[in-house]
Amino acid sequence: MLTEAQLLERKKGIGGSDAAACLGLSKWKTPLDVYFDKTSGNVEEIDNKYMKWGRIHEPSIRDEYMQETGKIIYVPEKCRVSEKYPFMIANIDGIGEDGGLLECKTADSHSSALWGEGADQFPDEYLMQCAHYAIVYDATYVDLAVLIGGNDFRIYKYERNKELELLIIEQEKDFWENHVLKLIPPEPKNLEDLNRMYQKTRGEMKNAAPSIKSLIENLKENNIKLKELKAEKDKLFFIVKESIGDFDGLTDEFGNTLCTWKIQNTERFDSKIFKKLHPDIYKQFTKTTASRVFRLGRY
């Protein structure tokens, strides 16, 4: 895990993992996600199981890369800031004595189709990341070592592409200077972006344009259809579950599982009982949050 100082350092520029998002090419985050990360005072690191296992496997991936290539790789101690483009920073996984860079990745077996047979056939998101690192370090190349499914080790290579790099520099420069520094959020890309961008209201209503009014009518019609579909879905569930009865599920004539209806034990914190038994403690750890709720009018 990164220290608070390292997390603060990352807010001073656009990193390799931000590159694809700034260009609107990331499946993990949007430009608005990057904007809020760079402009907020929050230094808490986002973490998940993929990041955790990536950190765990990084040393072994680096060791395997050195063993297969015979290259000596060392890990930089701090973040690198581009001298020519100070809004670009890099936290690379390894630097070679020949001027090349190493980036280590892990991927699950379900995503193996995204990694091709050719040395340059890897996901576009990582292509942007490697190109970004090459710019910051002015590296001769970037090798991408990936462990897929825990047992499939591959090495890919990014060769310098000036046209791509000029595009990345232009887009990141625009993002940094016209959004981050000016505190102007980029355009929202999805519903989650909209929810984050417009958390407060003016306390007054707005007249809808004719086109929006028509869309609202479509929403109402779709809601009716969804309710009808849910009713049909519930009816089908009832018939199938009634057929299962007290069995664990149903199979076809060949023994293939069609569906299951098994008992699953879960543990949940019972806040109602806790509040009743320990009202003072409950109040101490309770906070009020505000959120915007969307409802269609009855008119």
Q: Are 134 and 101 in contact (CB under 8 A)?
A: yes
How confident is the model over 126-147, as a mean pLDDT?
Answer: 96
pLDDT in tens, 227-241: 999 999 999 999 999
Banded model confidence at residue 3, pLDDT cuts 50, 70, 90: low
pLDDT in tens, 93-112: 999 988 899 999 999 888 88
Q: Are 102 and 94 in contact (CB under 8 A)?
A: yes
Phi/psi of residue 95, nearest 5 degrees:
-125, 135
pLDDT in tens, 206-215: 999 999 999 9
Set out the domains of the chain in order of their start, with CATH numbers: 4-197 (3.90.320.10), 210-263+295-299 (no CATH)
pLDDT in tens, 142-169: 999 999 998 899 999 999 999 999 999 9
Q: Are 172 and 86 in contact (CB under 8 A)?
A: no
For the CA atoms of 213, 216, 218, 222, the dihedral, rounded to the nearest 10 degrees, stands at -170
Neighbours of 88 (CB within 10 A): 25
- Res 133: pLDDT: 97
- Res 111: pLDDT: 85
How confident is the model over 105-127, as a mean pLDDT?
Answer: 90
- Res 2: pLDDT: 60
pLDDT in tens, 240-277: 999 999 999 999 999 999 999 999 999 989 899 999 99
More confident residue, 168 or 6: 168
User: Which of 4-8, 13-17, 18-22, 206-210 comes out lowest in average pLDDT?
Assistant: 4-8
pLDDT in tens, 71-91: 999 999 889 999 999 999 999
- Res 120: pLDDT: 86
Percent of the chain with pLDDT over 90: 70
pTM: 0.79
- Res 46: pLDDT: 63
Bridge partners (DSSP) listed for residue 14: 88
Q: 249: Cβ–Cβ under 8 A, 6 or more apart, which residues?
A: 257, 258, 259, 260, 261, 262
More confident residue, 76 or 298: 76
CA distance 142 to 291: 44
Q: 28: Cβ–Cβ under 8 A, 6 or more apart, which residues?
A: 21, 125
CA distance 80 to 89: 5
User: Tokens 């590159």 belong to which residue?
Assistant: 19
Banded model confidence at residue 54, pLDDT cuts 50, 70, 90: confident
For residue 61, pLDDT beyond 90 = yes
For residue 53, pLDDT beyond 80 = no
Q: 50: Cβ–Cβ under 8 A, 6 or more apart, which residues?
A: 106
For residue 113, pLDDT beyond 70 = yes
- Res 255: pLDDT: 94
pLDDT in tens, 178-201: 999 999 999 999 999 999 999 889
Picking from 99, 153, 145, 112, the residue whose alpha carbon sits closest to that of residue 126 is: 145
